[in-house]
Amino acid sequence: MVGAGISTPSGIPDFRSPGSGLYSNLQQYDIPYPEAIFELGFFFHNPKPFFTLAKELYPGHYRPNVAHYFLRLLHDKELLLRLYTQNIDGLERASGIPASKLVEAHGSFVSATCTVCRRSFPGEDIRVEPFASLSESVQKSVPRLLINRDLVGSFALSPRRKDVVQLGDVVQGVERLVDLLGWTQELQDLIQRENGKLDGQDG
């Protein structure tokens, strides 16, 4: 499961961090309150703020980072069963994780639905249960790993004996784990190869 913390090292602001989060910087859009930018009622009244923000967040402006490529490496090693993401930035896809392994809880730029005719445009219709409870769904015998800035959810409220927690910077936490697994060179090779592909697309 991943959230905004995996994408902030790529330059995408999270939503709630005081002073630097997206909600803190929405005053430039002249909206009554931060959440309005994502509300249909406000969108129908004034769509410009949403489209301006969507253009800034649109895939292609940002690149996957070490954490995204670590998840890709897990996929390449056939260790990734499914990746649940709250992010709409598409960086998991850009790192090479196939759509068949992704559950994008809040959607993505891959698909859209017309608010007038309700017609769906290319992409998948994915319905998921509440994201936050997913880590509690695994059997107690399955180790859970949290790499995050803060201790959250069931890791804080009802920790399990097999839980592994790495608090702090997400990229540094991933790099530490990769080093312990002995995968540092493989990850560096993957990043170099994939960044070369992205450089070719940019040019």
Contact 68, 172 (CB under 8 A): no
What is the C-alpha separation between 173 and 167, in angstroms, rounded? 7
Q: Kindly report the backbone phi and psi dihedral angles of residue 16, in degrees, each rounded to the nearest multiple of 5, phi listed first.
A: -115, -5
Q: Break the chain into its structural domains and give their ranges.
A: 1-128
What pLDDT is attached to residue 86? 85
pTM value is 0.67
Give start and end residues of each alpha helix (H) in the chain: 40-45, 48-57, 66-76, 91-94, 153-157, 170-181, 184-202
What pLDDT is attached to residue 17? 62
What is the C-alpha separation between 74 and 104, in angstroms, rounded? 18
- Burial (Cβ within 10 Å: 0-12, 13-18, ≥19) of residue 173: buried
Active site residue 75: no
Q: Exactly one of 61, 68, 75, 106 is catalytic; name it.
A: 106
Chain centre distance of CA 8: 9
What pLDDT is attached to residue 119? 73
What pLDDT is attached to residue 25? 64
User: For 58, how many CA atoms within 13 A lie in the half-sphere containing its CB?
Assistant: 9
What pLDDT is attached to residue 138? 80
What pLDDT is attached to residue 125? 34
Q: Which residues of the chain are modeled with pLDDT < 70?
A: 15-25, 58-60, 109-113, 120-133, 202-203
Tokens of 129: 């249960």
Contact 99, 44 (CB under 8 A): no
What pLDDT is attached to residue 126? 31
CATH number (1.20.1270.10, 3.30.1600.10, 3.40.190.10, 3.40.640.10) of 1-128 reads 3.30.1600.10
